[in-house]
Amino acid sequence: MKRLFSWMVVAMMIAVLAAGCSAGNADAQESETRTIVDHAGNTVVLPAKLDRIVIGSLTPLAAVYPMFTGSIDGLVGIHEDSRYSIERSIMNKIFPGMADISSSFSTSGTDDINVEELLKLDPQVYFYNADVKENYEVLKNAGIPAVGFSTTLFEDYSTIDTFNAWVDLLAEVLDKEDQAPGIKEYGEKALETVRSRVGDLKDDEKPNALILVNYNENVLVAGGTSFANYWITTAGGKNLGYEVGAFVGPVNMEQVYEWNPEVLYLNNFSAYTVDQILNSQAKEGDDWSGITAVQNGRVYKIPRGTYTWFPPSSDAPLNLLFMAKTMHPDLFEDIDMEEEIRNYYQNLFHYELTDEDIHEILNPTAGM
């Protein structure tokens, strides 16, 4: 009887130990992964530690990642359009070697993913444009965890809020939530500064403004209801391009003359410089001399830092100040853009810009 009892005790102990081991293994497996919800509303299971990341066709995001992490470590793939931009921007100085990161899985100007090439990079996660739903399906079928970052989260297309949302999602994905507030703070303060000064302007105190998203020999494209509208209206102006009724829309010189903007902005994708517009030396046959903005010398090229400042980007807070200062120089006389840029890069990129760097950011060349 005693022997039987002893065997029963031993059996019970083995069962308890086995159960404990099973629970321990389950806990260990759970601790090796994390679950997040991305901007597309998808639940994504990720490895607890990420060191092989690929960033797809949401090209400005490639500059936000090293801004957040402080390095390009762990970044094994970027889109070709990001690589092209980095090669020609201040990013190549701040993060040497970033332009050498593989872009073999991508094709310039498209959202297409070459799965065969992508798999060669052995990615643990792929950051994609959440608005390109077909990318999610391609990645899902390839067995690659995909995290969607969106540019259309906010009804007013706030580039500041969008950038901050990217930072929040990056913080969650990388398990570094404590870093997000310090990065978001600058944009929040810039927004508060601008709103406090232009918020009470009367309608006739707001200049009519137009952003040319692209202008070359073949096209003249105006900014419409999205980012262009946010920049202009938030900075205290009236967006003439809203009439195109879309994100962006083609226009002609007759339409520009009808609008007659008081302030004119060229996105830095445009093939022409400010001087070419001021001297009607842009596209042959386009006469800009009768436009009020040209007559008053109020034509500006949107700067280019880590990326063009027009869409959401890591430089979004700086562009809000730039737009406000050029729209209302009297209200923002105290804002020194050169110092703002210098301090921003020092604090958020830990990089000391030279005077030449700042000049190049504020005066991008044609087609940049």
Amino acid 218: pLDDT: 87
Residue 12, pLDDT above cutoff 80: no
> In sequence order, which residues have a C-beta less than 8 Å from that of residue 204 and are 6 or more positions away?
none
Residue 1, pLDDT above cutoff 80: no
Instruction: Count other C-beta atoms under 10 Å from residue 340's C-beta.
Output: 18
Amino acid 163: pLDDT: 98
Report CA-CA distances (Å) from 254 to 221, 278, 352. Answer: 13, 17, 45
Three-class SS state of 130: coil
Cα–Cα dist 338/357, whole Å: 10
- Mean pLDDT, rounded, for 80-98: 96
Stretch among 14-23, 250-259, 331-340, 357-366 having the lowest mean pLDDT: 14-23
DSSP 8-class letter at 304: B
Question: What Rg, from alpha-carbon coordinates, does the chain have?
Answer: 25
**When comparing pLDDT for 346 and 219, which is higher?**
346
Q: What is the pLDDT of residues 145-184, one digit of tens each?
A: 999 999 999 999 999 999 999 999 999 999 999 999 999 9
Residue 6, pLDDT above cutoff 70: no
> In sequence order, which residues have a C-beta less than 8 Å from that of residue 140 and are 6 or more positions away?
146
- Mean pLDDT, rounded, for 259-265: 98
Amino acid 247: pLDDT: 86
- Mean pLDDT, rounded, for 287-312: 97
336: tokens are: 């020194």
Q: What is the pLDDT of residues 188-209, one digit of tens each?
A: 999 999 999 999 999 999 999 9
Contact yes or no for 190/320 (Cβ under 8 A): yes
Measured CA angle at 224 (ends 208, 276), to 5 deg: 65
Residue 3, pLDDT above cutoff 70: no
- Mean pLDDT, rounded, for 226-246: 96
Amino acid 269: pLDDT: 83
Q: What is the pLDDT of residues 52-68, one digit of tens each?
A: 999 999 999 999 999 99
In DSSP terms, which residues pair with 223 in a beta bridge? 248
Cα–Cα dist 63/44, whole Å: 23
Confidence of residue 9 (pLDDT cuts 50, 70, 90): very low
- Mean pLDDT, rounded, for 12-29: 45
Confidence of residue 246 (pLDDT cuts 50, 70, 90): confident
As to burial, measured by CB atoms within 10 angstroms (0-12 exposed, 13-18 middle, 19+ buried), residue 194 is buried
Q: What is the pLDDT of residues 103-124, one digit of tens each?
A: 999 999 999 999 999 999 999 9
Amino acid 250: pLDDT: 92
Fold of 33-179: Rossmann fold (3.40.50)
Amino acid 28: pLDDT: 43
Amino acid 2: pLDDT: 42
Residue 11, pLDDT above cutoff 60: no
Q: What is the pLDDT of residues 304-327, one digit of tens each?
A: 999 999 999 999 999 999 999 999
Residue 277, pLDDT above cutoff 80: yes
> In sequence order, which residues have a C-beta less than 8 Å from that of residue 345 and are 6 or more positions away?
90, 94, 305, 351, 352, 353
Q: Where are the domains of the chain?
A: 33-179, 187-363
The reply to whether 187-363 shares the fold of 33-179 is: yes
Residue 48, pLDDT above cutoff 70: yes
CATH H-level superfamily of 187-363: Nitrogenase molybdenum iron protein domain (3.40.50.1980)
The per-residue pLDDT of the chain, averaged, comes to 92
Predicted TM-score (pTM) of the model is 0.90
Beta strands in the chain (DSSP E): 33-37, 43-47, 53-55, 75-78, 125-129, 146-149, 208-215, 220-223, 238-239, 248-250, 263-266, 299-301
Stretch among 244-248, 283-287, 320-324 having the lowest mean pLDDT: 244-248
Amino acid 367: pLDDT: 62
